[in-house]
Amino acid sequence: MSDTATPTPPAATPAAKETKAQKAERLKLAKNPWEAWEEVRQFAREGRAAVLPEWAEFYFKWWGVYTQGDGAGVTGGKDGVGKATEYFMMRIGLPNGLLTSHQLRVIGDLTKKHARNLADITTRQNIQLHWLTIEALPEIVESLTAIGLSPKGACGDVLRNVTGCPLAGLDGHELIDASPLAVEVSRGLSANPEFYNLPRKFKVTVSGCPLWCSYPEINCVALTAIRREVNGLEEIGYTLRVGGGLSTEPHIAVRIPAFIPQDKAYAVVEAVLRIFKEQTELRENRTRARIKYLFMRHGWTAETMLEAIEAKLGCKLDPSPVDQDVVPDDVYRDHVGITPQQQPGLSAVGASVLRGRLSGDQLIQLADLAEQYGDGHLRATIMQNIVLVNVPNAKTRDLIHALGEIDLRVESSPFWRGAIACTGTEFCKLAIAETKAFSKWLVGEMEERLPGFDQQIKLHVTGCTNSCGQSWIADIGLEGKKIKKDGKMVDAFYFCVGGAVGKYAAIARQIGYRAAAEDCPEAIERLLRAYLADRWPGEDLRAYFARTDDASLRAQLAGTALPAVERDPPPVGAGRFAPGE
């Protein structure tokens, strides 16, 4: 492209006051951002002041880019959104979490050069960079393109990064290696100009993992492998779920009663995507534009969705009753630890990355370790962790030691292993509370207070009501807020308890308890000690929460009986423009 190209003029704003939805639809009709990258090159030449508001606030998202907050979060801004700085965040898409050491080393170099040596693994198997300048964006995108990666489609009203099992093709227990399908869906439908203008974000997961480790319950579309027998012959295909999602109104995906043959799987995903794109009523309100609202507010059912899919396909699908599902037991689903591969003599080694945060140096060191101990391949996970694969069994213990030297644990406490944290006020303009440093501190506190705790626990921290930290599916979900303590406004958290996926799949309950950030460890200790004292023989944490009423859980957290307090509503004016995964 010519370096002298002139940016397209901004779309004319009508005189009448627009809603957020009307503005978004107008901007999308005016421009496909994927076809306007030359404008970003021009901004880079001219500096931050040249960036047009519609790019800063909207179009950049199609390139995986958001403006970065000033550290104060929403409380430092107005109209429900915090102040933006001169810097940007970029999300790098990794279909199925697949990475090579060469790719990771390039990302590490970019992190050191442009992102103040700071990167985050996200809950959709992406890698996220911060502190980027407008001048650096073209160079970063060119460097990523050269190694077969891109930020295109990692954000915006598009099909987002397609997730899958990080042990796809390796785990001897999987029903099928679904990673080729995940990559095919990503290459064919993500960053596809035909689908640049969806009503809202669209999240897909494809997995053959028997643990359902990619959380099909909370995706817009989820294909999960299933086995059936027809005329005495075994066939592996997929079940289909549609309409899962968290945010301010969580919804467990609806199981569609159809068997999806492998050769129709891609077409089924595309069919649901087209159905979503055509729903004009979803374009009227940005906060209710996800596909889940077809079920939540527009009267759709599993049966009507199936009819619409079959109409798109032009054929009928065989039935697959929900009771045929083999729901995973209440086990760890994060693939942390040593997992023997189906390839003889090899193992995968999963390391827990506390709150997903890594330095550029650590990324480069991981690339080196993947080459030294394996064959140079790695996988990111939706629990913000990293897996090194194809490691000879004889080398696994040495690799575990080497990972520990760079502060990555293969053998860790349940608190370290189960911690998730969103971006928080450090960078996000919608966050109310800081999350990353708090999560690290909280884990350390819990390890000291309950060193022998024997249960897996998902301890998720999210900075606001948008649940980017997936507080709705955590055993203990902490949702950021502010309260007054000792005459000062301080970070605090509202507690949601009993969320889960798998055997106990449920949205966490709002139990009416909140605490200042500094008081959270003591409250959680009281709750978990009550569980240890009261549990039945063999009863796990999720079963205990499921049978214990809200008032009792609230009293355990507080140390005394308390009336319930209401959860805060989303900030007025914020809409749903959070950089959530």
Active site residues: 91, 200-201, 463, 468-469
* Gap between the Cα atoms of 242 and 229, Å rounded: 24
The token duo for 367 is 């690339």
The token duo for 186 is 């990503």
Residue (of 429, 404, 397) closest to 579 by Cα position? 429
Strands annotated E in 50-109: 65-69, 84-92, 98-100
* Gap between the Cα atoms of 142 and 140, Å rounded: 5
Beta-bridged to residue 245, according to DSSP, are 251
DSSP string, 500-535: BSGGG-BPPEEEEEEEEGGGHHHHHHHHHHHHHHHP
3-state DSSP assignment of residue 420: strand
Strands annotated E in 34-167: 65-69, 84-92, 98-100, 119-121, 127-132
DSSP 199: S
* Gap between the Cα atoms of 391 and 346, Å rounded: 5
Kindly tell me the sign of the dihedral angle through the C-alpha atoms of 292, 295, 301, 305.
negative
Query: What order of strands is seen across the sheet that includes strand 346-351?
Result: 98-100, 377-380, 386-392, 346-351, 337-340
The token duo for 69 is 């907050």
Query: What order of strands is seen across the sheet that includes strand 357-358?
Result: 65-69, 84-92, 127-132, 119-121, 357-358
* Gap between the Cα atoms of 351 and 467, Å rounded: 24
* Gap between the Cα atoms of 186 and 192, Å rounded: 9
Cβ neighbours of residue 389 closer than 8 Å, sequence gap 6 or more: 167, 170, 341, 346, 348, 349, 374, 375, 377, 378, 379
Q: CA 519: distance to chain centroid?
A: 27
Q: What is the β-pairing status of strands 476-485 and 459-462?
A: parallel
Q: CA 540: distance to chain centroid?
A: 26
Q: H-type helices in 241-374, by residue range? A: 265-277, 292-296, 302-313, 360-373
* Gap between the Cα atoms of 316 and 253, Å rounded: 22
Q: CA 347: distance to chain centroid?
A: 26
**Based on the number of CB atoms within 10 Å of its own CB, is 103 exposed (0-12), middle (13-18) or buried (19 or more)?**
buried
**Based on the number of CB atoms within 10 Å of its own CB, is 3 exposed (0-12), middle (13-18) or buried (19 or more)?**
exposed
* Gap between the Cα atoms of 344 and 77, Å rounded: 57
- Write the single-letter amino acid at 521: P
